[in-house]
Structures are given as C-alpha cells and as structure tokens.
Amino acid sequence: MENVQAGTDKCKLKLHKIYVPNISFNRSDNYSEKNSKFQVKVGYETAHSENNSKTKVTIKIEIADKKDDALTINVSLCGIFSMEPNDKENEKFFIKQSLAILFPYLRSLVTNITVQAEIPPIVLPPINFNALIDKQSNNEQS
C-alpha cells in the first residue's frame, strides 16, 4: 500500500497501513429481515508509538438488532498514521482526519459482510466525527 498524504503545508498526515484486527458476525436461526431494527454504536481509540512518530487509530462499530440480538456485527479497523508536525495542538485535527480516512473502509467492509451473508446490505450512514470526538472528549474529562 502506498502512503496517502493529506493536509496543508503546515500539517501533513500520512497513512502507512490499514488492517482489521477484529470481525465478529453472529446471525441466529430466528433472524428476520422484516422485523429488524438496528442499533449502531461507533467509537474510536488512539495509541501512540513509544517515540510518538506514529499513531494507531482504531475505529470500532457495533451493530445489533434492537429486539433480540438475532444479528450482531462487531468490526474494528486500525490505521497507522503519522503527522508532521507532531504536536498536541494538531491532535484533534489529526484524529478527525484519521477517522474520516478510515470510515469508508469500515463502511464498505460492513456492507460486504452483510451482502455475503445473504441479507439485505447494511450501508452505514455518514458520521459526524466532529460531534463524536467532542462527545468522547467530554466523557473523558468528566
């Protein structure tokens, strides 16, 4: 995979690698497409390398049938990124952009899993990562 770069002259974001550490798909025998209403939970984590040169950003999604858990999907997708300059001032920008880069891969993965399971495809809606990050930041500060 080639490095992907985004940013301005002041800040450069590079994607070095994408991988899937976890996929879980469970469909019970009593699953019914007609009665399904899904609840979608999205979260993220970050982890810095020892020398802070690279950051692992993990986006996680949990999809479950609200009624009876007849269908559950859990997927984690990781991206290894670097950013120059690497400072605290740009961290929110870094996380928002990293998640925006990773999300289309996650979205495609969920759609493909459901199509191959011979159920109607689940196509994730766009996500407001600004709100997600602000909400998670507020929860961590509380």
CA 71/CA 56 separation, integer angstroms: 29
Residue 115 has pLDDT above 70, yes or no: yes
Would you state the CATH architecture of domain 4-141? Answer: Roll (3.10)
Classify each residue of 112-128 as buried b or exposed e, where b means 16 or more C-beta atoms within 10 Å of its C-beta. ebbeeeeeeebebeebe
pLDDT digits (tens, 9 = 90+) for 14-40: 999 999 999 999 998 888 877 778 899
pLDDT digits (tens, 9 = 90+) for 36-66: 788 999 999 999 888 878 999 999 999 998 8
Domain coordinates in residue numbering, the chain: 4-141
Strand partners, 45: 58
pLDDT of residue 132: 79
